[in-house]
Amino acid sequence: MLNGYFAFGVPLFLIILYLIFEWIRKKSQVQYYIGFVLLLIASFMTVFSFQVLQEFWSADARLD
């Protein structure tokens, strides 16, 4: 069973982390490296959200 705090907390944390790095990117001269970090954060958030969605679908199928 997937914990709701974990399922919503991790993406929320990643969105906040993404916004912080985006703010640093705007203030910094080295934008390419920070852009790569933003890509990693966005990729992890996409994969995590898809895994949560798959867990929801499989739990929903078990209830039927």
**Chain segment 31-47, per-residue pLDDT in tens:** 778 888 899 999 999 99
Q: Which domain holds residue 48?
A: 4-63
Contact 34, 28 (CB under 8 A): yes
The pLDDT of residue 34 is 86
Contact 37, 21 (CB under 8 A): yes
pTM of the predicted model, to two decimals?
A: 0.73
Domains identified in the chain, total number? 1
Q: Which residues of 4-15 are buried (b: 16+ CB within 10 A; e: fewer)?
A: eeebeeebeebe
For residue 44, report the phi and psi dihedrals to the nearest 5 degrees.
Answer: -65, -40
